[in-house]
Structure 1
């Protein structure tokens, strides 16, 4: 086993340098490689295999995206965009970000549920609370913005849970509806699993 022998002997002569493509929880893509002095380097702008450039977009994401009547989704930038909040007649804001303070606590009704965007987070435990907050706001003729940090994983999962739990949609139906509203949604794998389990639970509840 020559390869194993090389590793065990600590030989670097026969090992070829590689570049690893990494996609983080915000959907940003970069390349990581090890320099000659043994230090890992991150290259935010580098050639992909097809010759195009990978560039992280750090521009503000201030738009509120309409999902259904009275319900919007967005990022932390959208949650601090007062003109758009007023234009969309927002009355309630559901903040599921980490480390993001409420921008206008005197002007809107807030619910804060701090969630980590990792597959291990038990997001399903807050579905009842978040659904009740949204449902009550809409019953009072209000409009709700659901936001996290990037508006990609946590906030989309909360909105999907509302569509599944209150509107009794299947996961894929809810996902396609939300995807039309905000194209870059992407719940992490753990959230997708929990949402599918939630959809099955709702289905069983109404057919038992």
Structure 2
């Protein structure tokens, strides 16, 4: 048994590694989406339990945005755990600084980082969006458009989107996304989510 640490400084016990399976299609079976010229990936749990697959993507860093999924390869991969569930009341923003710094360090050193949760839809998407807003200085609406253009299922829950809007306000002193419109339809076309429609024109 080995131990790894989460973003709150707590340790968790990591079970023995599973037996490696054959490499399959990354885009379909493993559901990994390539971002930033291959330096950042987002996906679900099925992206991270096969060392051969991680190696094919040159993944050296993983942000694990779950409480339950093991950090499978702690002797080969550097992990950061963001131990949250996909519930609107979860204070995901308390992990923004650590997660963004972890991703930024990997990317700046030309090492690929995978951010994952169960389905690569809400928790991991929130962390990637936070990185794009905080470190890359993107407007939230633009970051969502970029991410959703590559991964259509991206849809942070309403509480997480509120935290992202608070981050955007802190970074840009303005908001670009209409939370009311997002609450009505999380999968609405990006122009329909613009707080100022001219922003997405």
The CA deviation string for residues 133-186 of structure 1, in whole angstroms up to 9 with x for no partner, is: 001111222100000112110000000000000111111100011112211111
Which is greater in Rg?
1
Q: Which runs of 4+ in 1 moved over 2 A?
A: 81-84
**Is contact 1:67-1:177 (8 Å) kept?**
no
In structure 2, the gaps of 5 or more residues are: 1-27, 175-201
Distance 2:42 2:60 in 1: 14
Matched residue, 1:40: none
Q: How many residues align?
A: 146
Matched residue, 2:150: 181
Question: How many Å apart are 1:80 and its aligned residue?
Answer: 1.2
SS in structure 1 of the partner of residue 90 of structure 2: coil
Distance 1:83 1:116 in 2: 28
Matched residue, 2:36: 68
Distance 1:148 1:97 in 2: 6
Matched residue, 1:92: 61
SS in structure 2 of the partner of residue 164 of structure 1: helix
Distance 2:147 2:104 in 1: 17
Distance 1:130 1:95 in 2: 10
Distance 2:107 2:132 in 1: 13
The CA deviation string for residues 44-92 of structure 1, in whole angstroms up to 9 with x for no partner, is: xxxxxxxxxxxxxxxx851321121300000011111333311111110
Distance 1:78 1:198 in 2: 28
**Is contact 1:98-1:148 (8 Å) kept?**
no
Distance 1:185 1:82 in 2: 25
CA RMSD of aligned residues (A): 1.6
**TM-score relative to the length of structure 2:** 0.69
**TM-score relative to the length of structure 1:** 0.67
In structure 1, the gaps of 5 or more residues are: 1-59
